[in-house]
Amino acid sequence: MFTRRSAGLAVAAMFVLAAPASAEERAEVIHWWTSGGESAAVKVFADQFRAAGGTWVDTAIAGGANARTAAINRTVGGDPPTAMQFNTGKQFDDLVENELLADVDAQAAAQNWKAILPASFVQAVTRNGHVYAVPVNIHGQNWLFYSNDALHRADVQPPTSWEDLFPALDKLKSAGLIPLAFSGQKNWERNLFNNVMAGRGGHDLFVAFWGKRDVAMVKGPEFRSIVETYKRLHDYVDPGSPGRNWNDATSLVIQGKAGMQFMGDWAKGEFTAAGMTPGKEYGCTVLSDHGMAYVMGGDVFAFPRLKDTSQTKAQQLLARVLLEPKTQIEFAQKKGSIPVRLDVDTSSLDTCARKASGWVADAKAQVPANELLSPPALTGAIEDIISQYWNDPTMTTDTFITKVANTLSQQF
């Protein structure tokens, strides 16, 4: 028998999607993939789910915080969606603690996740021995994109290490270009800091910072040099950078007004929209001092605990479909990410993604992203300090380090 709510959903599904109202495996999915490219990507999931006999009811809400808020509100309010998107990491910790999520242990066992997914990602969705979410993709967060044209004009070779970077930036500057395209919003300021920390400090230092909150490390010389490197980058951004959207910064690279940009692999979407191909008009690389340190984040779907068994079935079906090889590769192509499954054929992806898929398979080349290591509250508090440091020319490195150390030792 239908509850009134599910009847309502069925009506909604008919109106919105004109899809057959199969009560059996209908899944309402809340996610924040709303732009054209993202939309094409999520369509892969929907199509595959439909092909497997389910009905995908799409609830797209732009802005991660908006979508998560809506999903959590509904879950707590007793009207959960079938599945909801999170960033891989600690965003759903509280839901697990409050026993609001269903585990997907069976699925993980059936598909043998330990063998096919990066270990850090399996760990990122596991709480107390149970698996609570399905990772669907990997986004590299510390790419350096550069305009071949701009570099050529400034007579610069693409940098391959942090040592190379500064001379290259100087040359770009003297050529009258914006050396580093930057979007001065808090999260990108933090992301740039993470890029420096991963690139110069490597995996252990990165984890010591965000994961272990190692105050002693923060007060040490290595961290100080990272902080100084970060601040040094400020000399190479243009005065218009504060407040700029990331895609406007990318746009500067696309037009050849700026030389390079540190950004996650989603920036490829902007290049693609402008008709550019990686390896041709623009290049991509990851700078790292200690072997490869590829910062990996991504997206997962979590499944609220439900009373309705037909919905539980839909959840199981969806969980399976999301990780199927065909789904994985098609989704990654559209999204600009890389498949979370290590055993799929990545030859159809672009050059940047192909580069990355090698690192993804190599545990030593990886750094878990910020979100995997620290709860949002801590991330946010640190982000405020980073942003202040970046923007306030009077704030000394000592002050910064003291503030960071204090915040890390607080309770979150």
Partner 1 sequence: MSGTTLIPRGRPPGKLSPARMGLYAFLAICALFFLTPLYVMLVTSLKAMPEIRQGYILAWPSAPSLAAWGKAWFSACTGLSCNGIRVGFVNSLRIMVPSVIVSITVGAITGYALSFWRPRGAVVLFGVLIAVAFIPYQVFIYPLVRIFSHLGLNNSVPGIVLIHTIFGLPTMTLIFRNHFAALPEELFKAARVDGAGFWRIFGAIMLPMALPIIVVAVILQVTGIWNDFIFGLVFAGRANLPMTVQLNNIVNSTQGEREYNVEMAATLLTATVPLVVYFVSGRWFVRGIAAGAVKG
Partner 2 sequence: MRIGSRLAAHIALAPALLIALVAYCGAMSWTIWISFTNSRMLPSSVFVGLRQYSSLVANERWQVSVTNIAIFGLLFISLALMLGFLLAALIDQRVRGENLLRSVFLYPFSMSFIVTGLAWRWLLDPTFGIEKVMRDLGLAGFHFDWIVRPERAIYTLVAAAVWHAAGLVMAIMLAGLRGVDPELWKATRVDGIPTWRVYLFIIVPLLRGSFATAIILLATSVARLYDLSVAMTNGGPGIASEVPAKFVMDHLFDRGNVGLATAAATTMLITVVAVIAPLLYWQQSRPGARRTA
Binding to partner 2 by residue 256, rule CB under 8 A? no
Structure tokens at 412: 């979150």
**In degrees to the nearest 10, what's the CA dihedral of 326, 331, 332, 334?**
130
User: In the complex, what is the shortest distance from the CB of residue 208 to partner 1, in angstroms, rounded to a whole number?
Assistant: 28
Q: How many residues bind partner 1 (CB under 8 A)?
A: 53
User: In the complex, what is the shortest distance from the CB of residue 392 to partner 2, in angstroms, rounded to a whole number?
Assistant: 6
The binder of 56, among partner 2, partner 1, none, by C-beta within 5 to 8 A per type, is partner 1
Burial of 36 (0-12, 13-18, 19+ CB in 10 A): exposed
Burial of 201 (0-12, 13-18, 19+ CB in 10 A): buried
Q: How many residues bind partner 2 (CB under 8 A)?
A: 40
CA–CA distance, 17 with 15 (Å, rounded to integer): 6
CA–CA distance, 136 with 138 (Å, rounded to integer): 7
The binder of 243, among partner 1, partner 2, none, by C-beta within 5 to 8 A per type, is partner 2
Binding to partner 2 by residue 402, rule CB under 8 A? no
Binding to partner 1 by residue 266, rule CB under 8 A? yes
> Residue type for 44, please?
V
Sheet holding 282-285: strands in order across? 178-180, 258-263, 143-147, 282-285
Binding to partner 2 by residue 66, rule CB under 8 A? yes
The binder of 11, among partner 1, partner 2, none, by C-beta within 5 to 8 A per type, is partner 1
Pick one of 316, 391, 397, 402: the residue that binds partner 2 (CB under 8 A).
391
Binding to partner 2 by residue 34, rule CB under 8 A? no
User: In the complex, what is the shortest distance from the CB of residue 239 to partner 2, in angstroms, rounded to a whole number?
Assistant: 5
- The interface with partner 2 within residues 162-191 (CB under 8 A) comprises 184-186
Binding to partner 2 by residue 384, rule CB under 8 A? yes
Pick from 272, 271, 220: nearest CA to 401: 220
Reported as type and span, the H/E element at residue 301 is strand 299-302
Q: Is residue 278 within 8 Å of 268, Cβ to Cβ?
A: yes
Pick one of 51, 65, 115, 361: the residue that binds partner 2 (CB under 8 A).
65
Q: How many CA atoms lie within 13 Å of 84's alpha carbon, on the beta-carbon side?
A: 25
Specify the residue, 27 or 165, whose C-beta has the smaller distance to partner 1.
27
The binder of 150, among partner 2, partner 1, none, by C-beta within 5 to 8 A per type, is none
The binder of 37, among partner 1, partner 2, none, by C-beta within 5 to 8 A per type, is partner 1
Q: Is residue 229 within 8 Å of 162, Cβ to Cβ?
A: yes
Task: Look at the alpha carbons of 380, 384, 389, 391 in this order and tell me if their dihedral is positive or negative.
Answer: positive
Binding site for partner 1 (CB under 8 A): 5, 8-9, 11-12, 15-17, 28, 31-40, 42-43, 46, 56-64, 66, 69-70, 73-74, 76-79, 139, 245, 247, 251, 254-255, 264, 266, 269-270, 272-274
